[in-house]
A and B are shown apart, each in its own frame.
Chain A
């Protein structure tokens, strides 16, 4: 193919799919929504996951059994189904924006996975570490925050990273409850311009870029937590 013709075809596609009717604003909105749902769910879900993990690892059955049930149920239901249950059943009578419903659903889902990731991390730390902390005279909480958590974090992050990216990609199903995220935007543009290739490939690339940025920043944190780095202290 003539390279010049190729470039001009791309330019036309950009013109039609992005510039016309100010579609870039639409795309930007979609991206904001995706980012909002993702970040909200990551932050809230990570916190809720901590609580679930604490319950799951408690010694008392009143805490472990509900936590186990929670994790089993959440992991056993497809996300779009859960999203629709949340929107059309649970929050049906309440008038709240669908974005909030989406954030809530993804938070709840992410928490279940995060809880299990945390647990695996904490349990992978040798019991001797805790005993050494306690024997030194640290309280249980101090032992956790100064000894167990920093070590567990290093082991959790590689898996956690994967789960975060998974979450970002899974947000593409929010179209089920009429939230206009990036994917939905692409679909809308496709239906208006009758060009399937360009908008879809474009959001695919956008998703990839978002994931990639997240991956880089989490890897940065991970590297920062490596013992070698920390030992060089001011």
Chain B
């Protein structure tokens, strides 16, 4: 149905998509997820050539829309696009919005187009609004009209560019319900979305985009529950992390603490939680530096917004050593304090050195 080959897109010096290839089969629903600025919308906009990529080809039903002499308007008719900002034609009534395509492009008679327009409006639950102007509708209603407008052209594939991002939370479900209905009708769709639960429900396949391309793709169960790659995992779990490198016992403790506090504030952690974090870091480091072998160590704090847990990780590049159990250096008080505020303390041997990790959560 859609075959994207070696697509490369640049905005000036910025490479947004680098040699991306993918294909979408008929009847498939593909959700595209990923952080902002990773080219999700750009990819979608390339498919109907609202953007002009630098190189590559996009075959829609075997026709390359990126070819220099392609009949772009004709190939575009096979795709329908729903925009984040609706983009209804503000000077036309809702019904006229649905008629302009069929009348001007498909050369249907006004009467046929009108009948079909009413039918589509009823399908999206807006039969009464035919004579309204877009300005009189709510965001959710506008987006449903926009979907109906796309359908008026009988596209073979629908492209959704963040269809619910500009909507109030209360209106998101009405739009998603219409999209769900289309999946039941077997429409081929590509949906760029931030609604991960929705993406999991409706799609056959999910593209996670990052690093200027499709970073990981697979069935929703895999991407959502057991992502194979690091960045996907971080995105799905909504991980936020903080990194600090400590060069030795004389490091700038005040500077580090200030940065950790800022990090905690930024992610709206409670005062208690941020206090515990600072304490855990301080006690761990005192245990570390009590041992003569420990020098440089890297601290990573990651916060999973999804379940509210905070993860501390200390990594070094030293010979094997477990500072928690090594009797020669155990500072009992520090260890007791530490054990009082964190759980799941684990020491592991990595390829280059040791890794100590621990978990904190709001419950304590």
Contacts and interface: CB of A to CB of B under 8 A. Distances in A.
A34 B312 CA distance: 85
Contacts of B91: 150-151, 154, 227, 230
A135 interface: yes
Interface range for B = 20 to 34
Interface stretch (A8-16, A108-116, A137-145, A193-201): A137-145
B85 A134 contact: no
A147 interface: yes
B117 to A, nearest CB: 13
A139 to B, nearest CB: 5
Contact of B149 (A136, A147, A150): A136
B77 A137 contact: yes
A129 B83 CA distance: 10
Contacts of A135: 48, 50, 76, 79-81, 83
B50 A131 contact: yes
Contacts of B50: 131, 134-135
B74 A137 contact: yes
Contacts of A129: 87, 89-90
Main secondary structure of the interface of A (DSSP, over half): helix
B105 interface: yes
A147 B92 CA distance: 9
B133 A227 contact: yes
B88 interface: yes
A85 interface: no
Contact of A139 (B73, B88, B92): B73
Interface in A176-234: 227-228, 230-231
A128 interface: yes
B115 interface: no
B96 interface: yes
B96 A231 contact: yes
B153 interface: yes
B90 A128 contact: no
A126 interface: yes
B90 A132 contact: no
A154 B85 CA distance: 22
A154 B89 CA distance: 14
A146 interface: yes
Most chain B beta carbons < 10 A, residue from A131, A137, A146, A151: A137
Given A128-B87, A129-B90, A135-B81, A228 B105 contact: no
A133 B73 CA distance: 10
B322 interface: no
B73 A228 contact: no
Contacts of B79: 135
B218 interface: no
B104 interface: yes
Contacts of B101: 136-138
B199 interface: no
Contacts of A231: 92-93, 96, 131, 133
Contact of A136 (B74, B105, B131): B105
A26 B100 CA distance: 53
A135 to B, nearest CB: 4
Contacts of B150: 136
A228 B101 CA distance: 21
A133 B80 CA distance: 11
A185 B146 CA distance: 60
A120 B100 CA distance: 26
B87 A126 contact: yes
Contacts of B149: 136
Interface in A40-69: none
Given A134-B50, A138-B105, A128 B85 contact: yes
Contact of B87 (A132, A139, A228): A132
B87 A138 contact: no
A224 to B, nearest CB: 13
Contacts of A136: 76, 80, 100-101, 105, 149-150, 153
B76 A151 contact: no
Interface string B107-149: 0000000000000000000000001010100000000001001
A231 B130 CA distance: 10
A126 B96 CA distance: 19
Contact of A227 (B76, B77, B90, B100): B90
Contacts of B133: 227-228, 231
Contacts of B76: 134-137
B226 to A, nearest CB: 36
The 7 closest A-B pairs by CB, nearest first: A132-B87, A128-B87, A137-B77, A135-B81, A231-B93, A136-B101, A227-B91
Interface of A: 126, 128-129, 131-139, 142, 146-147, 150-151, 154, 227-228, 230-231
10 contacts: A128-B87, A133-B89, A137-B73, A137-B76, A142-B104, A146-B104, A150-B91, A227-B93, A227-B133, A231-B93
Given A134-B48, A137-B73, 6 more contacts: A128-B87, A135-B79, A137-B74, A151-B91, A154-B91, A231-B131
